């Protein structure tokens, strides 16, 4: 479908939560509704706040009756309040329209009567709440999964480097006060901070 914008400018806003996420799915959706590449604004950072350069550029360019496409409502924000606030900024403050590609009922261009506006705002509120609630549930499930993994003895991150073969001898001499911590670390070929950290863990591990 191609869009005849006339004096109305048509934009797309795409956001991915981190720089290693792929925006292809959202970009394809923008192309399918006819948004030109030059009018697509892309931010690759968290929706934690709205300090986003491309989103700010888009807002500055928006004029009354312009149209903004987004793939889904959670592209506008990461929680209920942010989504509703940005919807208000675009539609009320800027006087532009929003079209949510994944939810055709959320299209402020159509039927600008009171009932249509009421239905759109109600659906938006419900979906915004659902989106935020799902994010909270995901975080809770992740936290519970990590806690359960720790309980099973799973450890995350890279495993520590093996101790040097002379560590036990050096450790015992250091504990007996025969050598300094700096000398012990040098013999083990590690920084003093690393030696003290590994020594503390070694002591706990070997404590009867």
User: DSSP for 94-115?
Assistant: S--EEEETT-TT-BTTS--SHH
pLDDT digits (tens, 9 = 90+) for 126-148: 776 776 677 676 777 777 677 77
For the record, the structure tokens of 192 come out as: 């003093």
H helices within 51-188, ranges in order? 53-61, 80-88, 114-151, 167-175, 181-188
Pick from 26, 35, 32, 31: nearest CA to 5:
35
pLDDT digits (tens, 9 = 90+) for 71-116: 998 888 877 778 888 888 998 899 999 999 998 888 888 655 655 6
In this prediction, residue 202 carries a pLDDT of 80
Instruction: Give residues with Cβ within 8 angstroms of 89, minimum separation 6.
Output: 59
Residue 54: pLDDT above 50? yes
Dihedral sign from CA coordinates of 106, 110, 112, 114: negative
Active-site residue list: 17
pTM above 0.85, yes or no: no
By three-state DSSP, how is residue 40 classified?
Answer: strand
- Cα–Cα dist 175/182, whole Å: 13
Give burial (CB, 10 Å; 0-12/13-18/19+) of 177. exposed
pLDDT digits (tens, 9 = 90+) for 161-185: 788 999 999 999 999 989 998 999 9
Instruction: Give residues with Cβ within 8 angstroms of 48, minimum separation 6.
Output: 78
């Amino acid at each position: 479908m191609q869009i005849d914008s006339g004096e109305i400018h048509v934009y797309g806003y795409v956001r991915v939560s981190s720089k290693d996420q792929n925006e292809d799915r959202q970009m394809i959706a923008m192309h399918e509704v006819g948004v030109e590449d030059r009018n697509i604004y892309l931010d690759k950072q968290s929706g934690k706040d709205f300090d986003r350069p491309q989103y700010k550029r888009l807002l500055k360019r928006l004029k009354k009756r312009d149209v903004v496409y987004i793939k889904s409502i959670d592209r506008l924000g990461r929680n209920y309040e942010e989504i509703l606030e940005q919807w208000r900024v675009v539609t009320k403050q800027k006087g532009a329209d929003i079209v949510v590609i994944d939810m055709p009922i959320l299209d402020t261009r159509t039927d600008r009567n009171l009932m249509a506006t009421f239905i759109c705002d109600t659906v938006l509120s419900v979906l915004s709440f659902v989106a935020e609630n799902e994010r909270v549930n995901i975080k809770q499930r992740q936290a519970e999964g990590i806690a359960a993994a720790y309980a099973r003895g799973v450890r995350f991150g890279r495993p520590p480097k093996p101790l040097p073969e002379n560590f036990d001898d050096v450790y015992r001499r250091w504990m007996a006060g025969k050598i300094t911590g700096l000398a012990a670390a040098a013999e083990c070929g590690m920084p003093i901070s690393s030696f003290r950290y590994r020594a503390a863990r070694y002591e706990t591990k070997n404590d009867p």
